Amino acid sequence: MKVYAERPMRALGQLLVDLLLIVWVGAWTWLGLQFHERLDALRGPTRQVGEAGDNLANSLSTTGEQLRGLQLVGDLLAAPFDAIVGSARQLVEASDSSQQAIARLADLSFVVISLFPIVFAVVVWVVVRGRWMRQATAAARLRHSGHGDGLLAAQALATARLDHLARLASPGNPLDDPISRHRLASYQLHRLGLRNYEPR
């Protein structure tokens, strides 16, 4: 299986693309983490509000219980404290809900900002490089086979530009001419970044 081209310049280009992909993935991952951390930091103030509400509820609940112990007026005096305690508990619940919502938003931001660009780049790389690997591997095998020049030349005839074909092929059927066949086969290998055709 061919992973990199045999010609230095083509192989260097492929290596640079691979390094660029790594940088791309790292950059978008870092950017997504930065957004995640910034949004997640918003949980701090809501957490503090929740803790303050919880402390207030506990404190007033204790005070209310103490007042409720008084005869005659105990329940009357404790009623306002019970109402405040209920409001403080609702504040704690709202704080918890806000923290969960912020956490989900932070996770979603990481997916939207980082995952989509990374997946897009990786899919493009896999499609382009995978196609080249299949073609280069097959061409490299044909290069050493007895009938490889004909198949490689036929592929060149089907895909090469006409001005290149006019320069490489002789008049008539170029597949019948050994020299034209060799030139076309070498041309097709060169397009894939492989060494020239080596007749057996």
**Measured distance CA(62)–CA(52) in Å, rounded:** 15
Calculate the alpha carbon distances from 66 to 6, 58, 156 in Å.
Answer: 87, 13, 95
Calculate the alpha carbon distances from 68 to 58, 60, 63, 85, 89 in Å.
Answer: 15, 12, 9, 14, 20
Q: Does this model's pTM top 0.75?
A: no
Report pLDDT digits (tens) over 72-95.
Answer: 555 565 566 566 666 667 766 777
**Measured distance CA(106)–CA(123) in Å, rounded:** 25
26-30, 34-38, 73-77: the lowest-pLDDT one: 73-77
List all residues 6 or more positions away from 1 whose beta carbon is below 8 Å from its beta carbon.
Answer: 133, 137
Calculate the alpha carbon distances from 17 to 1, 10, 117, 125, 142 in Å.
Answer: 19, 11, 16, 9, 27
pLDDT at res. 188:
82
Pair of tokens at residue 98? 């806000």
Report pLDDT digits (tens) over 137-188.
Answer: 888 887 877 677 777 877 777 777 777 767 766 666 667 777 777 788 888 8
